[in-house]
Structure 1
Amino acid sequence: MAADTQADGDRDLGIPSDWLEPAMAANGIGSFDWDIRRDRVAGDARARRILGLETGPIVETEPERPADGVIDPDGPSMSSAEFLDLIHPDDVRTVSRRIRRAMDELGQCGAYYRTVMPDGTVRAVRFRGRVLADEQDRPTHMVGFVWDATAELHKRRRADENAAEREERTRFIREAARALSEAVTSADVARVFTELPLPGIPPDGLLLATLENGRIQMRAATGYHGANHVPHDRVPLDSGHPGAVALRTRQPVFISSRADYARRFPEAWPKVAETERNSWAFLPLIASGRPIGVCVASFDHERALDYDDRTLLSTLGGMVAQSLARARLHDAELELAAGLQRVLLPRRVPPVPGFETAVRYLPAGDGLQIGGDWYDVIPLPGGNVAVVIGDVQGHDVHAAGVMGQLRIALRAYAAEGHPPAAVMARASRFLADLDTGHFATCLYAEVSADYGSVYAVRAGHLHPLVRRNDGSATVQHVQGGLPLGVDPELEYPVTRFTLDPGEILLLCTDGLVETRKLELDAGMERLRRSFEDGHPEDLGELVDYVSGRAAESHERDDDIALLLLRWEGLEGRAREQLRRRIAQADLARISEVRAELRDAVRRWGVGDLADTVELLASELITNALVHTDRDAMLTARLHRETPGGPARLRIEVEDESDQWPTRRTPGEQASSGRGLMLVEALSDNWGVEPRGSGKRMWFELVSPGAADA
């Protein structure tokens, strides 16, 4: 430290001790004394040279002038204001504040500051001082050391810059990891990589390529234009291209110049020679021990990447590889799920005269995005249509497989002409026989093309909705039973309701109305409002609106199937045919078919035949069901030779029994045996025809003219 001083500035400041002065001289450290009361700052020769007040070397390996370490009180000095004038303006405030605090606290202070030398150069200086006080604790002197800190400050600045660069790279790795972890598909990974701002080594081009069938194929690039990307696209893995070498050796390849490229990779150089790049980094993408692609970072100027740069790029390559492997697996799962779902669901909805339909399927928001929800539209004999909506328990591949089998079976039962209750009962027995451990909810509805009657059967499913012509939408209650596959012997009740021309029937699965955040009743009310608010003119827009409201309001926890059906009425379609199947064990169905037949002949303009045709058709149907063990199929057709002229109504009842009817004369007390007698007596013509397996019984009635419907 500086030599002891005496109070009031009259004491001999002395010189540093014998061991301290050589050390100070060797390190270029000068000493100073600021007489606070007189406001004079004095320093030894080294201090004056450090401050630029004298010329000469600062560091003396062998001090030749001991006087250099002596502060001469009568020698050159300056005021504190003159001292502050030597300091760079940007540093004056810091130095002044620290000096004032040391004087107030009678303590120590120190600071780095810059001083402008007489030749205009800027030198960094550091000082350390201590405030001395008298008996009344008033500051009298500040003594201390001063030395040239230019090299020290540069070293410290470089250390700060290195620390800032390390922090920037750490932050980059953290942000890159976050962005890559959020990338879902391979396209997302490619986009994230090509948009990464590499710190300290901003490349002029970034390219991501994947290994496909033994070739490196470019997937995304930024900073590439013209032919710059050509040398790195569709490169064989067994070639001498640096990207192929990086994949084969599983080590990054760094090329610092064009000459380096030509020397190390002569086979690939001719194509690269036509590009504008001058240095490259090829990073192999290795995931689970398998090469899956390569990243390329290129620069317009020659660049020899240092250890830190190469470490950063290699780390980035590893992160991209893991993210790309995960994304490719996700892409494969999505492709599998989408393909399987396309196969299991109807490829298209068949057009049915008199009806308009629209369907949508939305996969669940997470998981494999495949499930057991399905829809179907089935044309039926006689021009009617059946609509189905169902949901097999679960949304995985197993559920989808069960759904596919159940959909095909139910479609087959419906196409055979079975009534709705029989279709549902048979589908339940089919699912139970599969023994998959799954059950399914389902809603099946048969809609009459002639007069809009709907016969609906529900197996543990949601009720349908109907939008009326006045714009209102209501939930249509349908009697229900247990889900399919639970009780194979269960008989399902049928609910009948009607649609007016232009009215719309909506069927959906519970994914549309129920989530973890939304209860079923609230979801049904939301669905009803959205069904009511949508525009019914375009059924496609309406189904998108209804499904979109559900998808936007809540995250989808389950897949969704949605089907809309509009009955357009009789206009523009064949009016004069009715076809119905009556199950052998369903004698109650005879009453329903009889009522439909009566309504049909009235609509066809031959209402005068309604009573007769109802009686005779009932006799034929009953005869087929009672005397055979098979189902019966009723077909009614009306033929007119000229508009408004005589009409011929033909009724046919088909069964699969080879037993032919026998006409007999019953006694007065007999309770049966008069059916064929009535047919023969009341019809204009009748007969029995073979039809391969089974027979067809028929009769015809002639109306002299068209009557009012």
Structure 2
Amino acid sequence: MTRQGFAFCGAEFAAVYLYSGEDDRLDLADVVEGPDNICSLPEAFFLSGRSPVADAFRDDRIRWLGPAQLTEYARAGDATPGPDTVLAECVKAWPSTTSLGALPLGGHTSKLGCLVVVGTSAEGFDTDCRHLLELYADQVAAGIEALDTQVVKRQPQVRPRRGAGLFPPRSGAFTLVLKTGDMKADDQVLELLGVAAEDFDGRAETLLACAVPDDVPALMSIVEPGRSSSTDHQLAFRIRRPNGELRWLGLRCRMLLSPEGKPERMLGVVADASYLRPNADEVSRVQRLSAKLAGATTVRDVSEVVVAALRVPLDASRVAVAELEADRLVVTILDPPDPDAWPEVWRSEWRSEWPDAASSALPTLRSALREGTVSVWLPGADLEPGLANIGPGGLAVLPLLADGRMVGACLVGWDQEHRFGPEERSLLTATASLVGQALMRAHALDARHELARTLQRSLLPRKLPVLPGGKAVARYLPATVGLEVGGDWYDVIPLPDSHVALVIGDVQGHSAEAATIMGQMRTAIRAYAVEGHPPDVVVSHANRLLIGMETDLFATCCYVDLDMEEGIALFVRAGHLQPLLRHPDGSTDELNVQGGPPLGVMTDAQFPMTEAGLTPGTVLTLVTDGLVESANLPLEDGMNRLRSLLSAADPSDTGRTADDLLGNVDRRDDDVAVLLLRYDGMLVRPKRARWTVWRLPDAIVHARRFTARTLRGWEAVDEMDVALLIVSELVTNAIAHTQGQVRLDLTLAQDRLRIAVNDSSPRSPARPTTLDLDATGGRGLLIVEALSTAWGSVPFAGGKQVWAEVALSPGEQMNAPPKA
């Protein structure tokens, strides 16, 4: 490096002094020659003296001395002679306009020495020059650490010599106006990038174009206004020179804010970072790490890749990866996972699989993350126990940055004494850069997947109902390509009179829109079914609804209305796959169900019904096409495979059967839904009776007589008084408040009597919230609620059904043992 390297910063002369460790002094180790009249500096500064260089090192604080202050310092040296009067003598020989800066080298990990710079401007170093020289000092310190200055410390008897190569061999500075992109760069920056001075147009984009495409996003995250909340940045990046040479450069920059606190200008130093250039093995290792991180889709995957890349290759004792959330470190992986291998501050916060740790309990770590550069501590470093016990033989902290902000940290510790060579530092630096971006990407993917899973779960049934005479199970697998949410759905809907509706459908695509349409279709079909419409009407209504949604998507659907008592099933198919039946003997059939077009295609489409009978032990199977068809699997082959699996399955375990059908499904381009029903038949069929209520003055009397006669025939007389009172109230309400036909239905099931009154009014009965003591009506529903175990109202066939259930005493239950 020559004096021209500092000219952009207003300096004419520079020197590096290193701390010898045992002699209590700073020794001159390297210089950049300046003009003849200011090229002399002392060979050493004693820390016991009062020179600005010694003061800067002791206090770890920069000292700036203008011409007037230097003159006063020289006069003070004459008055009090001491070991540092040599500098005072040098100052006397310098021009009267000379200024001096002493910048400590090193940070919280170690104190290395001082950078001394001398300028000849009468105004001294202005604000911009001071910022740039501070960045230069950081660059020099990084180079010294990379050259392992511990060799100098272990041999204090060897005096450092001039020309020790401690300055970056090639470096330059620039200023950038963020709002306009106008840039000023010295000749050294342009030479490093391979851009001729006459070809530079003063735009930042011209220099960004020199970077390797993979490194451009990291650079853009720094130079774009508003992308970062930090003021200081460090980055190693690659450029491709015009001759094809790939070169590593180190960038250190500082953001200057406007009075309003907004990023306004950037000052930066660019240097040849050849000490970061890894050897062939390191390049291969970094390339493998990059490839593995590219395939990591979750935060846990990223963390495991980091452990595999660092612990064994570096022979490390411990590796931890943590995300930074507010003021807490949320650990994503610890290796080894044994809690006893980690300090108490980590074990005390162990709340789940991994612990959390407050960053306030680890001030050194928090400081390292604030600096944003890879930090290493050698054995015996003064650290708090929460860090010292992670790496008593050596500790490295890798701040993980992404999009200009700190997203986490990686800690690597050794139990035995460990020294950090340049190649190892390059691996740690490259790892930190790659992992930060991968962690941010994985975190976003995790959040997206969780949102997709939550949306899908909310749109599908949480659980299937318990059915008398059968067992239903369902399985759903989202697509593994693209957004993990789609349009496949299923439903099992209990209906009156021991009927059940089974529905499976598939909205075109697997997107958020498809999932939204799916949720609306499932809700609509359930509502139409509960209203009591026959299967073909349910599907027709759903078709008209989808057409009215003004969407380009269509849906396929298969709807089954199954009588659990008789085993009679009515099928309606709208562009969907044919249902399959597995018979008790193991044979399988693909039912030939007449079908209509998919839902949402034709307004006046017809959906005919097909009837089929099921014998006990039959398994009804409904699936979506994602299970049986893909780019590599023709539909016919997929259906044959499905029938083979179904034939070989054990029907006694419907859950295992459903899992077997999905057993070979791996990477999926489409969603997969499976709905199975094993029909067992009802061993004890409910008893039913129906009565049409005449609208006569004595209609209630006839309804009570019918109920009493029916219950006596069923030998269920113990609850007759309760049943008659409920019948009176429900029939009275229907006749008094509705028009049209009224029907009374009685059902005696295994352990309960169900009383239902159907009328033609869709308006649900309203339970009174208050009741005047003098009122002559309004107590009917209160009486029903008090006498029954459950009651309610549901839409039914254009009207409604009001029902109530009465629990039977053990002696009255169907097939109960006779009374003694």
- Fold in common (TM above 0.5): yes
Cα distance in 2 for partners of 1:200, 1:356 equals: 55
Find the counterpart in structure 2 of residue 351 from structure 1: 466
2:329 maps to 1:216: yes
Pairwise CA distance, 1:634? 7.2
The residue identity in structure 2 corresponding to 1:324 is L
Question: 2:577 aligns to what SS in structure 1?
Answer: coil
2:676 maps to 1:564: yes
Q: Which of residues 515, 521, 526 is equivalent to 1:400?
A: 515
What residue ranges of structure 2 are gaps of 5+ in the alignment? 1-274, 347-354, 693-709, 715-737, 750-754, 764-795, 802-820
CA 1:467–1:631 in 2, change beyond 3 Å: closer, same or farther?
farther
Q: Which of residues 544, 549, 562 is equivalent to 1:447?
A: 562
Find the counterpart in structure 1 of residue 491 from structure 2: 376
Cα distance in 2 for partners of 1:212, 1:517 equals: 44
Cα distance in 2 for partners of 1:253, 1:307 equals: 13
2:583 maps to 1:468: yes
Find the counterpart in structure 1 of residue 303 from structure 2: 190
Question: 1:382 aligns to what SS in structure 2?
Answer: coil
CA 1:197–1:276 in 2, change beyond 3 Å: closer, same or farther?
closer
Identify the range of structure 1 (521-530 vs 372-381) with the bigger mean alpha-carbon deviation. Answer: 521-530
CA 1:547–1:695 in 2, change beyond 3 Å: closer, same or farther?
closer
CA 1:324–1:578 in 2, change beyond 3 Å: closer, same or farther?
farther
1:456-535, aligned counterparts within 5 Å?
A: 456-535=571-650
Cα distance in 2 for partners of 1:287, 1:521 equals: 49
Cα distance in 2 for partners of 1:579, 1:412 equals: 27
Cα distance in 2 for partners of 1:394, 1:579 equals: 49
Question: 2:331 aligns to what SS in structure 1?
Answer: strand
Find the counterpart in structure 2 of residue 228 from structure 1: 342
Find the counterpart in structure 2 of residue 40 from structure 1: none
Question: 1:394 aligns to what SS in structure 2?
Answer: coil
8 A contact 2:362–2:384 mirrored in 1:
no
Find the counterpart in structure 1 of residue 288 from structure 2: 175
8 A contact 1:655–1:695 mirrored in 2:
yes
Cα distance in 1 for partners of 2:379, 2:541 equals: 76
The residue identity in structure 2 corresponding to 1:367 is G
Cα distance in 2 for partners of 1:653, 1:188 equals: 59
Find the counterpart in structure 2 of residue 35 from structure 1: none
8 A contact 1:373–1:390 mirrored in 2:
yes
Cα distance in 2 for partners of 1:579, 1:487 equals: 41
The residue identity in structure 1 corresponding to 2:587 is S
What residue ranges of structure 1 are gaps of 5+ in the alignment? 1-161, 263-267, 581-600, 606-628, 641-649, 659-690, 697-709
Cα distance in 2 for partners of 1:631, 1:462 equals: 42
8 A contact 1:657–1:695 mirrored in 2:
yes
Cα distance in 1 for partners of 2:675, 2:480 equals: 20
Pairwise CA distance, 1:695? 10
Pairwise CA distance, 1:327? 1.6
The residue identity in structure 2 corresponding to 1:178 is A
1:42-53, aligned counterparts within 5 Å?
A: none
Q: Which of residues 648, 651, 666 is equivalent to 1:536?
A: 651
CA 1:471–1:304 in 2, change beyond 3 Å: closer, same or farther?
closer
Q: Which of residues 379, 402, 406 is equivalent to 1:257?
A: 379
The residue identity in structure 2 corresponding to 1:206 is V
Segments of 4+ moved more than 6 angstroms: 577-580, 629-635, 650-653, 693-696
Pairwise CA distance, 1:548? 1.5
Q: Which digits, 9 at most, give the CA deviation of each residue in 1:266-285, with x for residues without a partner?
A: xx524445666132111100
Pairwise CA distance, 1:474? 0.6
8 A contact 1:460–1:482 mirrored in 2:
yes
2:360 maps to 1:246: no
CA 1:498–1:567 in 2, change beyond 3 Å: closer, same or farther?
same
Find the counterpart in structure 1 of residue 147 from structure 2: none
Q: Which digits, 9 at most, give the CA deviation of each residue in 1:302-338, with x for residues without a partner?
A: 4442333222211111112122222212211211111
Find the counterpart in structure 2 of residue 429 from structure 1: 544
Pairwise CA distance, 1:212? 2.1
8 A contact 1:382–1:577 mirrored in 2:
no
The residue identity in structure 2 corresponding to 1:655 is S
Question: 1:389 aligns to what SS in structure 2?
Answer: strand
CA 1:695–1:399 in 2, change beyond 3 Å: closer, same or farther?
closer
8 A contact 2:362–2:387 mirrored in 1:
no
Find the counterpart in structure 2 of residue 334 from structure 1: 449
CA 1:478–1:165 in 2, change beyond 3 Å: closer, same or farther?
same
CA 1:404–1:200 in 2, change beyond 3 Å: closer, same or farther?
closer
CA 1:387–1:200 in 2, change beyond 3 Å: closer, same or farther?
closer
Cα distance in 2 for partners of 1:360, 1:383 equals: 24
Alpha carbon RMSD of aligned pairs, Å? 3.6
Asked which structure has the greater CA Rg, the reply is 1
The residue identity in structure 2 corresponding to 1:507 is L
Q: Which digits, 9 at most, give the CA deviation of each residue in 1:145-193, with x for residues without a partner?
A: xxxxxxxxxxxxxxxxx9x982222222122222222222111111121
Cα distance in 1 for partners of 2:506, 2:602 equals: 17
1:568-579, aligned counterparts within 5 Å?
A: 568-576=680-688
Pairwise CA distance, 1:300? 2.2
The residue identity in structure 2 corresponding to 1:175 is R
8 A contact 1:169–1:199 mirrored in 2:
no
Cα distance in 2 for partners of 1:453, 1:224 equals: 58
Cα distance in 2 for partners of 1:354, 1:453 equals: 13
Fraction of identical pairs, as percent: 38
8 A contact 1:481–1:492 mirrored in 2:
yes
Find the counterpart in structure 2 of residue 323 from structure 1: 438
Cα distance in 1 for partners of 2:657, 2:594 equals: 27
Pairwise CA distance, 1:407? 0.3
Q: Which digits, 9 at most, give the CA deviation of each residue in 1:532-590, with x for residues without a partner?
A: 111111111111111214x15xx42211111011222120452436899xxxxxxxxxx
CA 1:438–1:577 in 2, change beyond 3 Å: closer, same or farther?
farther
The residue identity in structure 1 corresponding to 2:498 is G
Cα distance in 1 for partners of 2:315, 2:336 equals: 11
Question: 1:506 aligns to what SS in structure 2?
Answer: strand
Cα distance in 2 for partners of 1:273, 1:557 equals: 49
CA 1:633–1:341 in 2, change beyond 3 Å: closer, same or farther?
farther
Cα distance in 1 for partners of 2:800, 2:456 equals: 42
Cα distance in 1 for partners of 2:549, 2:637 equals: 35
8 A contact 1:243–1:284 mirrored in 2:
no
Pairwise CA distance, 1:657? 9.6
Pairwise CA distance, 1:355? 1.9
